[in-house]
Structure 1
Amino acid sequence: MDSPILFFLIIFLFTVITNNATIIQAQVDEYGLEELASDDFGSPMEMNGRSLLWHRMFKYYISYGALSANRIPCPPRSGRSYYTHHCFSATGPVHPYTRGCSAITRCRR
């Protein structure tokens, strides 16, 4: 290194970056993510940063109703496709899936 100023600048930047880095340890339990307790609580500024980080990362969630077994998103026999977005509030015409008759489907001709 030619200049001691450059060396000290690199050391200073490394120190600032490592001090401001936030490491969040979490474990997955039965109901979702839970932050592991730590001995140091950090400064108030650090806690606000963590809070904002968690809100940015976990903006969307899956409801308990969606996770329950044997549930379909649309009412049965409504004619709405399984893939219709918001099928409960959809008001457009229903286009049920139809196919031709064959011996396997046992439909009348």
Structure 2
Amino acid sequence: MASKLLLIPILALLFTLSSASAEADGGLQLMNETLEFQLETPLVFEVEEETGERRSLYWHAKRYYISYGALSANRVPCPPRSGRSYYTHNCFRARGPVHPYTRGCSAITRCRR
């Protein structure tokens, strides 16, 4: 009788240990899958592999970057009224005005005639 009473807690203990190990295996398998996914993805994408014509400052073929001077507050990247385009790679080396801005006078702009 005592052996039967001792057998029940031992079986219950074995059952809980087996279910706990199954949960631990599932958790380890999930973690293993996430690590494999991260290792399979390349960290650096090649420019030739891109099929879309998306605009990006980092992945552009010429690799232009925004300078710290352009990022500072209240500062224009090119000298004002120089006529040089803001969209050139280096507006200080560019010579001459590019499409100088001229506008007509209208009632909307309220300029003097």
Please, what TM-score do these two structures have when normalized by structure 1? 0.36
Q: Which has the larger radius of gyration?
A: 2
Structure with greater strand share of residues: 1
Structure with greater helix share of residues: 2
